[in-house]
Structures are given as C-alpha cells and as structure tokens.
Amino acid sequence: MKLYTFAPAANALRVEMFLREKNLELEKVSVNVREDELFKEPFNSMNPFNCVPFLELNDGTIITETISICRYLDDQFESPKLFGNDNKEQAIIDMWNRRIELDGFLPLLHSVRNKTSFFKGKVVPGTRTNINQSPEIVERGIEMYKILLDRIDPHLSKNKFLFGDKFSVADITGHFMFNLSNILKIDFEQNYKNIYRWKLEIESRPSNPMANNI
C-alpha cells in the first residue's frame, strides 16, 4: 500500500504521528499541495476531493479522510490499538475524537483558512475558488473552540489523556487542534490549566512530528 502525503500539511502530519505511535513504515508518495499537484493527474482522479492524505491499497482501492485512513491501519496492524481494544473502548475513543474534531479542530481550521492570506482563494480545503475570506467565520471558530475548552478542562483534571491513562487517536486530533490554536495565537494557559498540561503531555511524545521539524 502507498500513502499519498505532503510533509508540511496538517492532516498529513496527523497520519504521520499515528504511524509513529504504531511503529509503522509505509511507502510514501509526496504530492506538492502548494504547487496544485492534487488537481493534476493521476492525483485528481485518485482523490476527487483534492486533498492529502490518501491511501492506495494493493488492489487499487483509495481511502481518503485522515481518520478513515488511521482506522483502517489500526485494524490492519497490531498494538497499540489507538482506536481502542474492544467495542466499548472504541465507542468512547470515537466519541472523544468526534468532540475534538467537530467542536475544535474543524472550527479552528476554518478560522485559519478565513484569516491567513496564504489561504486566499482556498478557504475550502481542496478547492481553488473566489469565495471570500470571512472575519465572522474566524470569530465563530474561536468561540466554538472556547466552548469546547470549557467542557473538556474538568475532564482533563481527572484524566491524563482523553481516554484515561491510554493515549489514543483522539489525543492526536487534539495535538493538531492546538497547532491551529497556536497559529491563531489563542492564549489559554492561564484559564485552562488542565488542558495546558494535556497539551504539553502530547507535545513531549517522541511521535510528535513537529518536534522533529518535519
């Protein structure tokens, strides 16, 4: 199987961190997102959503979506199981991952895409359009993120990671939510001490691709 990726891209790095946590090495093909290679063949036909990462299986099947790729790899390869070991663990980890991705990562991703000039003409991932950047979307993303922080800080006062003592894919999603929060320069260290402790905990892991300057 082959992973189509681009080292600086956030979602590509999510899969990279996941691979490192699982001690997996995959054959990789770098697709230069910044030079619009995703809109050229063969990549455009392989993934009409024009985004990295995507995974090509040996039978030619293409799997897109970061979490779907990680879930497939978790099922295919042994421990550690970052999506949980049994049905109950899987449901709880999925719940946390969805909370972080839907209420934090995605709102902040849209804030960043609507704020930084780098994303002009690219406000929707995998598109080149003339949709305007919107300051309202920037603000709304940050408001949604703060609601999430209010909700998860008490949980993290009692739990090392989102799923108790076990590091999971939900923590990887959290790590990349914080990277977006850093880009937006959102300072939460004082108000959310438990979340800040969790953030540092994830950052210090050897699998952190940012720590190794990728």
Ligand X SMILES: N[C@@H](CCC(=O)N[C@@H](CS)C(=O)NCC(=O)O)C(=O)O
Residues that bind ligand X (CB under 6 A): 9-11, 33, 38, 51-52, 65-66, 122, 125-126
Spatial distance between the Cα atoms of 105 and 98, rounded to a whole number of angstroms: 10
Smallest gap from Cβ 90 to ligand X, in A, equals 19
Decide whether 156 or 169 has the Cβ nearer to ligand X.
169
Smallest gap from Cβ 94 to ligand X, in A, equals 15
Smallest gap from Cβ 80 to ligand X, in A, equals 22
Q: What tokens does 100 get? A: 């972080």
Decide whether 80 or 126 has the Cβ nearer to ligand X.
126
Decide whether 66 or 181 has the Cβ nearer to ligand X.
66
Decide whether 122 or 160 has the Cβ nearer to ligand X.
122
Smallest gap from Cβ 44 to ligand X, in A, equals 12
